[in-house]
Amino acid sequence: MSERDGMKAWGAGASPEIMMDLLTPHLADITADGLSLTGDVTADEIGLTGADTQLEGSLAVGLDLTKFERTICVTGVVEGTAVRECVRCLAPFPEPLAFALRVVYEPEPKAVPAAAKRMDHRKRAVEPVEIEPDETDDEIYHYAGDHLELAPMLREQVILSDPMHPLCKLDCAGLCPQCGKNLNDGRCACQEEAPANPFQALKSLKTEQK
Residues making contact with Zn ion (CB under 5 A): 86, 88-89, 168, 172, 176, 178-179, 188, 190
Residue type, 106: E
* Smallest separation (angstroms) from Zn ion to the CB of 195: 16
Task: State the Cα–Cα distance between residues 124 and 118, nearest whole angstrom.
Answer: 9
Q: Identify which of residues 46 and 172 has a Cβ nearer to Zn ion in the complex.
A: 172
Task: State the Cα–Cα distance between residues 157 and 155, nearest whole angstrom.
Answer: 6
Residue 74, beta-bridge partner list:
65, 103
* Smallest separation (angstroms) from Zn ion to the CB of 179: 3
Say if CB 90 and CB 175 are below 8 A apart. Answer: yes
Q: Identify which of residues 189 and 205 has a Cβ nearer to Zn ion in the complex.
A: 189
* Smallest separation (angstroms) from Zn ion to the CB of 90: 7
* Smallest separation (angstroms) from Zn ion to the CB of 184: 6
Q: Identify which of residues 11 and 186 has a Cβ nearer to Zn ion in the complex.
A: 186
Q: Identify which of residues 88 and 147 has a Cβ nearer to Zn ion in the complex.
A: 88
Task: State the Cα–Cα distance between residues 112 and 21, nearest whole angstrom.
Answer: 32
Please count the other Cβ atoms lying within 10 Å of the Cβ belonging to residue 101.
20
